[in-house]
Amino acid sequence: MKRSVLVRGARQLLTLHGPSIPRRGEALRSIGVIEDGSVLIVNGIIAHVGSTRRVENLAEARSAEEINAAGRVVMPGFVDSHTHLVGAPARVVQRQRSSSLTLDALPLAMQYIRNTPAATLDFQARRYLELLLRHGTTTVEAKSGYGLNASAEFKTLRVLTALDGGVTAVIPTFFGAHVLPPEFASADEYVGWLCAELLPRVRERKLAAFVDVLCDPSGFTAQQVRPYLDTARRLGLGVKIHADQSMCTGGTRLAVEFGAVSAAGLNALEEEDIATLARSGTIATLLPGTIHEGSFNRYPPARQLIDRGAAVALATAFKPWSPSTFSMQMIVSLACSHMNMSPEEAISAATINGAHAVGRGGRCGSLEYRKDADLLILDVSDYREIPMHFGCNIVAMALRKGHVVYREGALTCGGG
């Protein structure tokens, strides 16, 4: 039996309709605004998008459940293409160290992941997912990489895999090549173990769509991770690289060489890196929120990347224990106010390009025929208002595959 939903009468409907490749240049600024627009959803899939007059007169629309979006902006759900959902809560890290946020929390996070039951990690991750959803994220990539032994990494990946298909779509990434765990004497020894033992099992058990690696002074050098990337590619796993965030290490050029779907971080790029990215199919995933962690003193060079022709995505880099945000709205605001991106560029980077950065460009990130009906109704009347609401939540409603999964609630005021 068909279930039809009509999201009707948006003041502005942002379709993000366009080519089936990551946006760059002029295409990044094309967000497909339809004044007085509507979306018809059938069985969780977008069936029609267009002007309200045309869509509401379709036969399937006449019996559809109606959602009134009058006076509001309707757009695709945000795609957060770089997060760390499973990790130690802030209370665990903070009570065991000084108040300095720049101290290394990884050993504490590692012990927590290793010692905590999967059910507890699952409960915490679901709570974080709900908060992401309240702020408009309907698809999220989430990494392992804090357990750093076989049992803890597989436990994390199983938790992430189980989360997919709920209120948000979750794409697991194996981040085993994050830092050197204490059980190994050298990076070469650890990477060799990952290649021989963990990567084949990750592939065999279908626990991750991608592998990631930290190519930075706190992680691994470009030379050390080559065998890891070679093995991942041979096994058919997608490659991501977190690179050149605190200083330039050659990680961006390595990402392009290995055909990585994305390179994230990128605060410390040099001109050669920007030019290399611009010539490649690798998406530059920028993480402006990480500046609040206190470890980085500059934002990624978004304007230079876009002007040279690179494909750019935005993500939160959310971590449970460090100063970060659930809100892609806030990331869009930071991109516009501190990285000289236009609202159109930031919206594209936070939706359709984010979808391409997790291999889901054909399923989400835009409001187009036959894509999943993941969309937001925002409590603003013009999309250019989105970056103006710094730290505020303007999501009035979120739909995931055509089902309302979040609705803004009324205040309850007690008398006195």
Tokens describing residue 365: 């990130």
Give SS3 for 322: coil
Segment 381-399 shows an average pLDDT of: 95
CA-based nearest residue to 156, from 145, 166, 171, 140: 145
Indicate whether 292 pLDDT > 80: no
Q: What does the chain come to in residues? A: 416
What average pLDDT does this structure show over 304-317?
A: 98
What is the pLDDT, as a whole number, of residue 104?
63
Quick one: average pLDDT of 348-377? 98
User: Residue 101 — pLDDT band, cuts 50, 70, 90?
Assistant: very low
Give the per-residue pLDDT at 209: 94
233, two tokens:
């590619």
pLDDT at 103 over 60: no
CA–CA dist 351, 376 (Å, integer): 11
Q: What is the pLDDT of residue 66?
A: 97
Average pLDDT, the chain: 93
Residue 68 has pLDDT above 90, yes or no: yes
Find the mean pLDDT for residues 329-343: 97
Report the pLDDT value the prediction gives residue 367, as an integer from 0 to 100. 98
Read off the pLDDT of residues 88-97 as tens digits, 9 standing for 90 and up: 888 777 655 4
Instruction: Output the pLDDT for position 321.
Output: 84
Q: Would residue 294 be called left, alpha or beta, if left means φ above 0 and alpha means ψ between -120 and 50 degrees?
A: left
Q: What is the pLDDT of residues 392-402, one digit of tens each?
A: 999 999 999 99
Q: Which CATH number fits domain 4-76+366-407: 3.40.605.10, 1.10.490.10, 2.40.50.140, 2.30.40.10?
A: 2.30.40.10
Q: State the pLDDT confidence band at 131, using cuts at 50, 70 and 90.
A: very high
Question: Residue 324: what pLDDT?
Answer: 87
Tell me the mean pLDDT in the region 136-144. Answer: 98
Same fold across 4-76+366-407 and 78-357: no
Nearest to 211 by CA among 242, 243, 182: 242
Report the amino acid identity of residue 66. E
DSSP-assigned letter for residue 26: G
Mean of pLDDT values over 148-162: 97
pLDDT of the residue at 102: 39
H-helix or E-strand spanning residue 46: strand 45-51
195: three-class secondary structure by DSSP: helix
Region 336-347: mean pLDDT is 97
411: left (phi over 0), alpha (psi -120 to 50) or beta: beta
Three-class secondary structure of residue 142 per DSSP: strand
- Give per-residue pLDDT as tens, 258-279: 999 999 999 989 999 999 999 9
Q: Residue 415's pLDDT is what? A: 54
Q: What's the burial of 226, exposed, middle or buried (CB within 10 Å: 0-12/13-18/19+)?
A: middle
pLDDT score at 89? 85
Q: Where are the domains of the chain?
A: 4-76+366-407, 78-357
**Candidate CATH numbers 3.30.465.10, 3.20.20.140, 2.40.50.140, 3.20.20.100; the one for domain 78-357:** 3.20.20.140
Beta bridge partners, 170, equal 140
- Express each pLDDT in 199-234 by its tens digit: 999 999 999 999 999 998 889 999 999 999 999 999
Distance CA 320, CA 138 (A): 19
Distance between CA atoms of residues 342 and 232, nearest Å: 36
Give the model's confidence band at 155: pLDDT under 50 very low, under 70 low, under 90 confident, else very high: very high
Q: Alpha-carbon distance 329 to 59, whole Å?
A: 36
Q: Where are the beta strands (DSSP E) in 266-415?
A: 283-286, 312-314, 375-378, 395-400, 403-407
* pLDDT value at residue 331: 97
Instruction: Report the pLDDT value the prediction gives residue 247, as an integer from 0 to 100.
Output: 81
Give the pLDDT of residue 296: 67
**Is pLDDT at 294 greater than 80 in this prediction?**
no
